[in-house]
Homo-oligomer: A and B are copies of this chain.
Amino acid sequence: LKGGAAAPVADPYANEPQRLPALIVRSQKPMNSETPMELLAASIVTPNELFYVRNHLPVPQVDPAAYRLRIEGEGVRSLELSLEELKTKFKRHTITATLQCTGNRRNEFNRTGRVVKGLEWEGGSISTAVFTGVRLRDVLLAAGLEDDDPEVQHIQFEGLDADMAGATYGASIEVDKAMSPHGDVLLAYEMNSAPLPADHGFPLRAVVPGVAGCRSVKWLGKIVASSEESHSFWQRRDYKAFGPNTDWDNVDWDAAPAIQAMPVTSQICEPAVGAVVEDDEVTIKGYAWSGGGQGIIRVDVSADGGKTWHNAELQKVPQKRGRGWAWALWQATIPLPKGFTGQLELVCKATDENYNTQPENAAPIWNLRGVNCNSWHRVPVTVQ
């Protein structure tokens, strides 16, 4: 090579898996794509091929026979476990859980007039699957971790996905969530009864139900028990929210806690924005979800911008109170004002088991990274 030019580097994205064209791509490298609204509302469990994809780095290629999960850190004996050992030495456990990107619905912040940084998600970076694997608690107990060990406050996850310099994706969760017998945190090797797809963490991922998707680390390589949170960029300098008065010039990242459980949210999946309604009633469909295991107890819908409300009918999977990891789908057919033609605003808002509900507008919850957008979802339609 002449003149000291660098050798051409092989494209780290050369081995990405195939994806369905139905997914709406927000970035190609890394792949980030959301599920179309009408497909989300079609079934409580999202088919694997339609599950939203949120990758931070190239998809790593992992040989399942050579794969080892490493457990290390404070309060534990270092352990290495093969996939076979995980599957045979620990009890199999299954949960139905919704995962959601903290940036889901981010574009609604952009439409307030104050632009935020991040992938321009509409409401489709959320999906639900039946995950099967072993409990993180069982694996940590096998490594010798004791309940309420005062040295251990966080469980860190390290992915096998890495940048060109070898730095890997990482995140951590609270040890209380990891160790709670009712926390249901999994190390999952199956998704909807199939091996994990490459885009979703093959051969093993964390599934932290009720918590922001970014903590459910995919292609899981290492688990570290620690007194400290993960030192990753994504744990400490991203995936936090501030008040609307905080912007890039005055943000103190240490002043807010890392997002773990996410707030209650809901979305109208049908009709679409700008749809034409030619009837004296309208059928509205959507999803509703809350973090922290808080199941959805009610969805209210309005055809007059929120002045009057109707109850939607909920479709749910059976879940115990406090362990409501999966979303509810909902549907309502509501009357339109007699003889009305012109534009109407359809609105939905959800209430969870703690009776938390959604704020009305996005502007008062605007935040520089555009996360946790959970204001009332509003869809303008035209009645003819």
Contacts and interface: CB of A to CB of B under 8 A. Distances in A.
A320 B176 CA distance: 10
A246 to B, nearest CB: 8
Contact of A364 (B242, B262, B306, B322): B306
Interface residues of A toward B: which range? 35 or more
A32 B353 CA distance: 27
A186 interface: no
Contacts of A246: 311
Contact of A297 (B176, B256, B354, B364): B256
Nearest to A243: B300
Contact of A372 (B147, B306, B355): B355
Contact of A298 (B256, B292, B297): B256
Interface string A294-319: 10011010000010111100000000
A260 B352 CA distance: 11
Interface string A345-384: 0000101011111111100110000001000000000000
Contact of A176 (B182, B292, B308, B309): B182
A322 B176 contact: yes
A106 to B, nearest CB: 14
Given A256-B297, A322-B174, A349-B364, A356 B263 contact: yes
* A contact face: mostly helix, strand, loop, or mixed: loop
A112 interface: no
Contacts of A244: 300, 308-309
Contact of A263 (B311, B355, B360): B355
A364 B360 contact: yes
Interface in A315-359: 320-322, 349, 351, 353-359
Interface of A: 147-148, 174, 176-177, 180-182, 241-246, 256-257, 259-264, 291-292, 294, 297-298, 300, 306, 308-311, 320-322, 349, 351, 353-361, 364-365, 372
23 contacts: A174-B321, A176-B182, A177-B322, A180-B182, A241-B351, A243-B300, A244-B308, A245-B300, A245-B308, A245-B309, A245-B310, A256-B297, A257-B353, A260-B354, A261-B353, A262-B355, A263-B355, A263-B357, A264-B356, A291-B354, A354-B356, A356-B356, A359-B360
Given A148-B181, A263-B356, 18 more contacts: A174-B322, A176-B320, A241-B355, A244-B300, A245-B310, A246-B311, A256-B297, A256-B298, A257-B321, A259-B355, A261-B353, A261-B355, A262-B354, A263-B355, A264-B356, A291-B354, A300-B364, A359-B360
